[in-house]
Chains A and B, each alone.
Chain A
Amino acid sequence: MEIVINGEKLEIPIDVATVSELLQHYGLNQKVVIVELNNEILEKGNHQETLLSNGDRVEMVHFVGGG
């Protein structure tokens, strides 16, 4: 499946079907993350059940603490 992540068209592995799995794929599942799917911010509770489809546009921002 091809999706647009942070403005870049990327091919994601076949076993990545949900937003949760996408976060896991990018090593962001332990982080505090804001995910926007097709211009809508997802509630954290919905990451697990939200399915991705071809051509989706995803923006991901994760919080870090250093300064």
Chain B
Amino acid sequence: MSERYSRQELFTPIGVKGQERIRNKHVLIIGAGALGTGSAENLVRAGIGSLTIVDRDYVEWSNLQRQQLFCENDAKKRLPKAIAAKNRLKLLNSDVNITSLIADVSVEELEQLIDGVDLIMDATDNFETRMIINDISQKHNIPWIYGACVGSYGISYTIIPRITPCLHCLMEDIPLGGLTCDTAGIISPVVQTVVAYQTVEALKILVEDYEALRNKIVSFDLWKNEHSAIRVAHVKKDSCLSCGTHRTYPYLSYQNRTKTAVFCGRDSVQIRPAVKTDRDLAQLEKILLAQKGEIERNPYLLSFTIGSHRLVVFKDGRAMIHGTNDISVAKSLYHRYLS
């Protein structure tokens, strides 16, 4: 077992001491899609002490092209990504303490998950969640690493509270709902490049080599052979509501948080109940048997196909309505079959 990290220890900036530090750290990954599975695999192989990975979705065939922890069986069984990821990660390194959670991460979940965490890795697919991560990071003084990609384009930036500008400084006040939905597809080398940019910064933070951090926002287009990096240190705004002198953490105090979300480019809507419930899926299956739809169930979710729609219900009460991106259609299906 002492051989396990020998190549990483031979790398001088890490060394035996750095490896010990990595071993004592806890990383939280938000999202187990393309970026999340990549980061998780890298960090688990690198020997971090603890990893928590959270995701709200389940594995589908269209994920297998780039989401490196999943296999065909996971898609067949529609396993929640958090579960499928944990199963694979445990095989990769049994020394790592891995926690996985099936949940849609919002403020209250993040406040609970953050305890004892040294670093947050962004692997989400939306800015609403990222702005919450950004505020939580500032409030609890925990660094986080932004990463995103679409088509052949990728971007990453490392946020160190009290030192670098935060995402809110850089993006200013953006209308979260107004950001255009990217539907340009994605190719796996771009995912892996973003993951590389994110996890190398993660390793620097975990071994506490802050001098080595990039200090630039980096972006690239692998198909067009373009690369850009901008030093943004002086963009830190004292007036920023997330990291400035009179900070209010606006994304944490937002009271009327949306209960429904349209999944970008996927013809799907998620409905999140106002109060978290522990849904009895076996009971629901019995009720739905009276309908003429098709039912499949695993220990984590129930899938009900009726006409051109598929309703997937999780144990925490969330439902994903596939086959529409119209919130009112989704809501009426939800009320008709699931409430």
Of B29-37, B83-91, B275-283, B329-337, the one with at least 4 CB within 8 A of chain A: B29-37
Asked whether B186 is an interface residue with its Cβ less than 8 Å from the other chain, the reply is yes
Quote the shortest CB–CB distance from B282 to chain A (angstroms).
Answer: 34
8 A Cβ contacts from B254-282 to A: 264
A contact residues around B123 at 8 Å (CB):
67
Interface contact A61-B230, CB-CB below 8 Å: yes
Interface contact B172-A44, CB-CB below 8 Å: yes
Of B36, B130, B179, the most chain A CB neighbours within 10 A belong to B179
Q: Mark B168-192, 1 if CB is under 8 A from A, else 0.
A: 0011101000011010001000000
Interface contact A8-B226, CB-CB below 8 Å: yes
8 A Cβ contacts from A41-67 to B: 41, 44, 59-67
Other-chain residue from B170, B182, B218, B229 in contact with A64 (beta carbon distance below 8 A): B182
Q: A64-B153, A66-B149, A67-B147 are in contact. Are A41 and B232 (CB under 8 A)?
A: yes
Asked whether B245 is an interface residue with its Cβ less than 8 Å from the other chain, the reply is no
Q: A7-B227, A34-B217, A44-B172 are in contact. Are A64 and B232 (CB under 8 A)?
A: no
Interface contact B226-A6, CB-CB below 8 Å: yes
Interface contact A66-B228, CB-CB below 8 Å: no
Q: Mark B219-263, 1 if CB is under 8 A from A, else 0.
A: 100000011111110110000000000000000000000000000
Asked whether B6 is an interface residue with its Cβ less than 8 Å from the other chain, the reply is no
Asked whether B41 is an interface residue with its Cβ less than 8 Å from the other chain, the reply is no
Interface contact B31-A60, CB-CB below 8 Å: no
Asked whether B300 is an interface residue with its Cβ less than 8 Å from the other chain, the reply is no
Asked whether B122 is an interface residue with its Cβ less than 8 Å from the other chain, the reply is yes
Please report the C-alpha to C-alpha distance between residue A41 and residue B125 in the assembled complex, in whole angstroms: 27
Asked whether A21 is an interface residue with its Cβ less than 8 Å from the other chain, the reply is no
B contact residues around A44 at 8 Å (CB):
172
Which A residue's beta carbon lies closest to that of B183? A66
Q: A32-B171, A66-B148, A67-B34 are in contact. Are A59 and B179 (CB under 8 A)?
A: no
Asked whether B150 is an interface residue with its Cβ less than 8 Å from the other chain, the reply is yes
Which B residue's beta carbon lies closest to that of A41? B235
Please report the C-alpha to C-alpha distance between residue A32 and residue B33 in the assembled complex, in whole angstroms: 23
Interface contact A61-B228, CB-CB below 8 Å: yes
A contact residues around B122 at 8 Å (CB):
67
Please report the C-alpha to C-alpha distance between residue A61 and residue B126 in the assembled complex, in whole angstroms: 18
Which A residue's beta carbon lies closest to that of B181? A65
Asked whether B68 is an interface residue with its Cβ less than 8 Å from the other chain, the reply is no
Asked whether B124 is an interface residue with its Cβ less than 8 Å from the other chain, the reply is yes
A contact residues around B179 at 8 Å (CB):
32, 65
Which 6 residue pairs spanning A and B have beta carbons closest together? A6-B228, A66-B150, A61-B219, A67-B35, A64-B150, A67-B125
Known: A59-B229, A67-B36. 12 other contacts (CB 8 A): A8-B226, A34-B170, A34-B230, A61-B155, A61-B229, A63-B155, A64-B150, A64-B153, A65-B125, A65-B264, A67-B33, A67-B149
Q: Can you list 7 A-B contacts (CB < 8 A)? A: A34-B217, A41-B234, A59-B228, A59-B229, A62-B219, A64-B154, A65-B150
